[in-house]
Amino acid sequence: MKTYPKSFSDFVEERYPFFVEILETDNPPGEEKAMCALLEKELLHLKARTRIDPAGNLIGQIGEGENAFMLGGHMDSVMPCKEVKVIRKGNILHSNGQTVLTADDGAGLFQILTALRFVQENNLPCCPVDVLFTVGEEIGGVGVNSLQKSYLRAKQGMLLDRADDPGAFVIAGPYKRNFRVVFVGTAAHAFEAEKGVSAIHMAAAAVAQFPQGKINERLYANIGKIHGGDSVNQVAETAVLEGEVRAFSSLDAENLLEQYQRIIDSIKYQFSASGEFDPHVHLEYTARREGYEHNPNMPLIQAICSVHEELGITTDMQITRACSDAGDLTNKGIATINYANGAHRVHTKEEWVDMRDVIRVTWALVHILQRLGEQPEILS
Ligand SMILES: [Zn+2]
């Protein structure tokens, strides 16, 4: 791998205190205000026109003209992420072991703002940029779900939210549907069980019959929660299953849920066969995240690969079963790839990031922006 010039690593290192400030700002989902204020200050320094939408997402438009490009990340982190204390040993950053490091997605936020600052201070060619920092990504894309597309000019973009080595990026992600099934039977005393219908028995029949686990390469399902009943001497009146389906096409996800519906219809029929009881079963969606699949030949992806080659960075194009804001943004009309920010072991207290990777990603970002500035037809 060719390396970045010393003048560039000095530039990023000079901003290291800002990186620490990002990492050490408390930011659980729903409590992103302090982070938002910190990032907005920096966006204003970049002469961005900023807006905080009703959900709390921070949006900044930089530059004028056609063919804007979106750069995005999320402002929240998984818990525990309060009172983070960054420890640096050589080039490796980690927390003090009490919290996550919040490099997911603090590394991405820092890389975006640092690349933009470098481009501006050095008067490099650059496309118009829409910056999008969302809230509530870690709890199901709350911010991106309510984002109004009209706040952004870009039709293509990238998130810096893939926890992997520099050069990796995701071009396809899954559709996810969360579901809940509520079973309502008839309560009775356990010694008169014939006078009731057990909701737990119905739920168990469903668990036994629902296809689940890895169903095929492109379809996964999981029942992650089950609860019901009040007492061991009572025929249970209610039981609830909760789970999720992940698939690379929305049709596959919805077909599986239709199959679940047919299974619970037959269970309801079976448990009301005596004609004495009328049990209820209800299946509902509780959350959804959208998937996406980009053609590897799209000009943006080709341009990124060519920048990597020029910089000596190995390209690693990936398909993932993990959700991110990229799917929801793509489905809103902003074709988005999810680009690696160098973080590792995210969502654990062992999370770490190598400062050299942070610099490498920022270096690549500078060159991607420059390429998009020089060749606006890539985004047209
Ligand atoms: Zn993330």
Ligand 1 centroid distance, CA of 261 (Å): 33
Gap between the Cα atoms of 171 and 212, Å rounded: 26
Q: 3-class SS at 318? A: strand
pLDDT (tens digit per residue) in 141-191: 999 999 999 999 999 999 999 999 999 999 999 999 999 999 999 999 999
CATH of 175-289, one of 3.40.630.180, 2.40.50.140, 1.10.10.10, 3.30.70.360: 3.30.70.360
Ligand 1 centroid distance, CA of 110 (Å): 13
Taking alpha carbons only, the member of 240, 128, 239 closest to residue 186 is: 239
Say if residues 138 and 35 touch (Cβ distance below 8 Å): no
Q: 1 pLDDT band (50/70/90 cuts)?
A: low
Say if residues 266 and 240 touch (Cβ distance below 8 Å): no
Ligand 1 centroid distance, CA of 23 (Å): 13
Output the pLDDT for position 10. Answer: 97
Ligand 1 centroid distance, CA of 108 (Å): 9
Gap between the Cα atoms of 23 and 88, Å rounded: 12
Bin 12: left if φ > 0, else alpha if -120 < ψ < 50, else beta.
Answer: alpha
pLDDT (tens digit per residue) in 357-374: 999 999 999 999 999 999
> Would you kindly state where each structural domain of the chain is located, as residue ranges?
6-173+291-379, 175-289
Q: 140 pLDDT band (50/70/90 cuts)?
A: confident
Q: Is the pLDDT of residue 233 over 80?
A: yes
**Average model confidence (pLDDT) across the chain:** 96
Average pLDDT over residues 57-86: 97
Ligand 1 centroid distance, CA of 154 (Å): 21
For the chain, helix, strand, coil in percent to 5 are 40, 30, 35
Output the pLDDT for position 314. Answer: 96
pLDDT (tens digit per residue) in 96-106: 999 999 999 99
Ligand 1 centroid distance, CA of 16 (Å): 21
Ligand 1 centroid distance, CA of 74 (Å): 7
CATH of 6-173+291-379, one of 3.40.50.300, 3.90.550.10, 3.40.630.10, 1.20.1260.60: 3.40.630.10
Amino acid (1-letter code) at residue 102: T
Output the pLDDT for position 110. Answer: 98
Ligand 1 centroid distance, CA of 337 (Å): 13
User: Considering the chain, what percentage of its residues have pLDDT values greater than 90?
Assistant: 96
User: Considering the chain, what percentage of its residues have pLDDT values greater than 70?
Assistant: 99
Ligand 1 centroid distance, CA of 138 (Å): 7
Amino acid (1-letter code) at residue 211: P
Output the pLDDT for position 274. Answer: 83
